[in-house]
Amino acid sequence: MSDENGIKNSTPNEVDKGSVEQFGYKQELNRVLTLKDLIIYGMLFMVIVAPAGIFGEVHIASGGMAPFVYLVGLCAMTFTALSYKQMSHRFPIAGSVYTYVSKGINPHVGFITGWLILIDYILIPALPCGFVGIWCNDMIPAIPVPVWVVIFLVVNTAINIRGIKYTAIADWIIFIIEIIAFVMFVIIALRFVLGGGGYGALVAAPIFDPVKINLPFVATAASIACLSFLGFDGISTLAEETIKPEKTVGNATVLALVCIGAIFILFTYTAALAWGPDISGLDEEIGFFQVTQLIGGDLFRIFFLVVMIIAAGIANMLTAQAAIVRILFGMSRDGMMPKFMSKVHKKFQTPYLTTLFIAAFTLVAAMIPVMTIVRFINFGALTSFIVLNFTVIYFFFIKEKNRSGFKNIFFYLVCPAIGMFILGFVWTGFDWPTLLVGFSWLAAGIIIGAIKSKGFKEVPESFRNIGV
């Protein structure tokens, strides 16, 4: 049979395609999510208004071409998104990159890859948690930062334990809020520009300036932008709570990335137009809020700050927490993590003990310096993405010998190879502290994996059942 790309694939069980039983597991989670739910989830994970937080830094680093940076990032990450699509079509179960590499190569490499992505996902909730605590304390100094952190953690944890259906409802509400804020900003910014402010007209300079664009500039843009799109892969963690996951998960992954990329480009383009060609007065940390102040005054700046708090403190934390819980659930089910992590609440049908564990961990991790967290996240995410792209080539092109026809060659060789090359280039740009903490985490994973598998000799029963 052929997938939605027209590529011929084999599956373990054509009749039960999309079910977890064909892979040796039991369906325990509540399968209610649709394509729309997953797209919203992915976009919120990447944060619709995310450019607001780093606009100043990106715009200055790119010489006034922030929109171009996001365009490069969108093109670069699309290849990895396509690899996620192929693997999710073949293995529509929870666990994300851990599951895909385990099934596509072998469980030992899968564990190490899952261990790498763990440091990404397990620390992501701590970033918005810490930022929101500081932002809220700035608005209401009487309430200390730790109190704000606890408040947001309690709210998000309660929603996630209650069930994925309630998480999806919360996602939709916050999605509407963020889209309204985005549209308001674009309209007010364009009105300001067309009224003579900033550039004073719709010009191409912020998104394409042939004088500035060359290969080194594009390479620098890629290294900045790839990290801005981390989170699109989180959609794959919800496979066992999705209706028809073999089609829905992959389609949602690509669509969410494209949609968020278009929003990022339009967002930063209008902001760049409003600020104008002179970037000397733009502040790296509060550059976007300088723009909102310029085009809408104090009230609009405060409004956007509140939206940022909601986006980071609820939407981003909620989706990030849900994602890491599902990854741990999948690894625990295979005996690669403590058994309590795969325990599902009988009523809510959620891995509630793991959710509580992640909440407690986030409370502690929020106290870690931001740059240390970022280094771990960057190393774990990009390294695991490289392995995922290789897995597509190994599993489909080499192992299953899907080599005939342009589509097979394009999706199973060309796309993942380009994805590996781009990510590999960005990876070589890591500074030594990032490599130090990254390889330290990798070494710990290798040791734990060796102990759990008795020297990489034993594999989980679920893998033996399907002959992996």
Query: Is residue 11 situated within a structural domain?
Result: no
pLDDT at 462: 58
pLDDT at 7: 43
pTM: 0.82
Query: Is residue 395 situated within a structural domain?
Result: no
pLDDT at 318: 83
Q: Judge whether 66 and 267 are in contact, CB under 8 Å.
A: no
- Residue 465 predicted with pLDDT over 60: no
8 versus 343: which is more confidently predicted?
343
pLDDT at 463: 59
**Mean pLDDT over residues 61-76, rounded?**
87
List Cα–Cα distances, 234 to 39, 230, 314, 363, 394, in angstroms.
11, 9, 16, 21, 23
What mean pLDDT is reported for the chain? Answer: 84
pLDDT at 49: 82
- Residue 356 predicted with pLDDT over 90: yes
Q: Show contacts of 183-192: CB within 8 Å, 24+ apart.
A: 185/267, 185/270, 185/271, 185/292, 185/304, 186/266, 186/267, 186/270, 188/295, 188/296, 188/300, 189/270, 189/271, 189/273, 189/274, 189/291, 189/295, 190/270, 190/273, 191/295, 192/274, 192/294, 192/295
pLDDT at 5: 45
- The CATH number for 247's domain is 1.20.1740.10
**Mean pLDDT over residues 441-458, rounded?**
85
> Tens of pLDDT along 298-325?
899 889 888 888 888 887 888 888 888 8
Q: Judge whether 171 and 318 are in contact, CB under 8 Å.
A: yes
Query: Is residue 143 situated within a structural domain?
Result: yes
> Tens of pLDDT along 113-140?
988 888 878 888 888 887 788 778 877 8
Query: Is residue 136 situated within a structural domain?
Result: yes
Query: Is residue 421 situated within a structural domain?
Result: no
> Tens of pLDDT along 212-221?
777 777 776 7
Max mean pLDDT among 67-76, 100-109, 267-276 falls in 267-276
List Cα–Cα distances, 383 to 97, 117, 180, in angstroms.
11, 8, 35
State the amino acid at position 285 in one-letter form: E
- Residue 445 predicted with pLDDT over 60: yes
Count of domains in the chain?
Answer: 1
Query: Is residue 5 situated within a structural domain?
Result: no
Domain that holds residue 294: 21-370
Structure confidence at residue 18 as a pLDDT band (50, 70, 90): low
pLDDT at 6: 43
- Residue 24 predicted with pLDDT over 80: no
Query: Is residue 4 situated within a structural domain?
Result: no
The percentage of the chain sitting over the pLDDT mark of 90, rounded to a whole number, equals 31
The percentage of the chain sitting over the pLDDT mark of 70, rounded to a whole number, equals 92
When mean pLDDT is compared across 14-18, 171-175, 325-329, 441-445, the lowest value belongs to 14-18
State the amino acid at position 203 in one-letter form: V
- Residue 14 predicted with pLDDT over 60: no
Query: Is residue 405 situated within a structural domain?
Result: no
**Mean pLDDT over residues 270-292, rounded?**
89
- Which residue is associated with the tokens 């409802």? 169
pLDDT at 389: 96
pLDDT at 309: 86
Neighbours of 55 (CB within 10 A): 24
> Tens of pLDDT along 359-418?
999 888 887 776 677 777 778 888 999 999 999 999 999 999 998 889 999 999 999 999
